């Protein structure tokens, strides 16, 4: 496995936190390998916002709380780097929104993630959708799942 850092998108966290997701097992194994190899794992506050909202819709309350608190603990322990969307990052994502006028399906959260990835020199992303790979920014899938 490459030791290059990985940005985890909402889908990656949902596959990890939603045990009934068909890719849960493979994503859980991959996440554990990242942790075991001490690979830097990034995400953002916007991504966590999406994940928390979705978890509470899909999981029992106690399970959603447990998973969210596990993410917070990982960040506190330094196992997870949570990047904040600052005003400058927001403006940069807005510029991407205008630049990618032919890709209207890309969420604003994904655009903010792309800004962080560019800024931090990250190329690998744990994501299912193709948006990260259609923008010509040299992003690649951290894990091939079908």
Instruction: Tell me how far CA of residue 34 lies from CA of 5, 38, 104, in angstroms.
Output: 9, 6, 32
| pLDDT tens readout for residues 22-58 | 999 999 999 999 999 999 999 999 999 999 999 999 8
CATH fold of the domain at 6-84+122-141? Rossmann fold (3.40.50)
Q: Where are the domains of the chain?
A: 6-84+122-141
pLDDT category, 21, cuts 50, 70, 90?
confident
Look at residue 49 in the predicted model and tell me its pLDDT: 97
Task: Name the nearest CA neighbour of 54 among 12, 84, 24, 10.
Answer: 10
- pLDDT higher than 90, residue 143: no
Tell me the mean pLDDT in the region 124-142: 90
- pLDDT higher than 80, residue 146: no
| pLDDT tens readout for residues 48-89 | 999 999 999 989 999 999 999 999 999 999 999 999 999 999
Look at residue 131 in the predicted model and tell me its pLDDT: 86
Length of the chain: 146
Instruction: Find all residues with CB under 8 Å of 1, minimum gap 6, and list them.
Output: 33, 34, 37, 39
| Cβ 141 vs Cβ 133: under 8 Å | yes
- pLDDT higher than 90, residue 18: no
Instruction: Find all residues with CB under 8 Å of 145, minimum gap 6, and list them.
Output: 15, 23, 26, 27, 128
């Amino acid at each position: 496995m490459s030791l290059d850092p990985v940005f985890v998108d909402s889908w990656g966290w949902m596959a990890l936190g939603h045990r009934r997701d068909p890719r849960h097992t493979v994503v859980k194994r991959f996440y554990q390998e990242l942790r075991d190899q001490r690979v830097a794992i990034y995400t953002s506050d916007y991504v966590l916002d999406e994940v928390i909202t979705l978890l509470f819709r899909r999981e029992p309350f106690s399970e959603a709380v447990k998973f969210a608190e596990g993410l917070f603990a990982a960040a506190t322990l330094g196992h997870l780097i949570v990047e904040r969307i600052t005003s400058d990052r927001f403006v940069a994502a807005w510029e991407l929104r205008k630049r990618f006028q032919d890709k209207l399906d890309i969420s604003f959260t994904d655009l903010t993630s792309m800004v962080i990835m560019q800024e931090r020199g990250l190329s690998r992303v744990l994501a299912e959708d193709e948006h990260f790979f259609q923008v010509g920014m040299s992003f690649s899938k951290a894990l091939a799942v079908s």
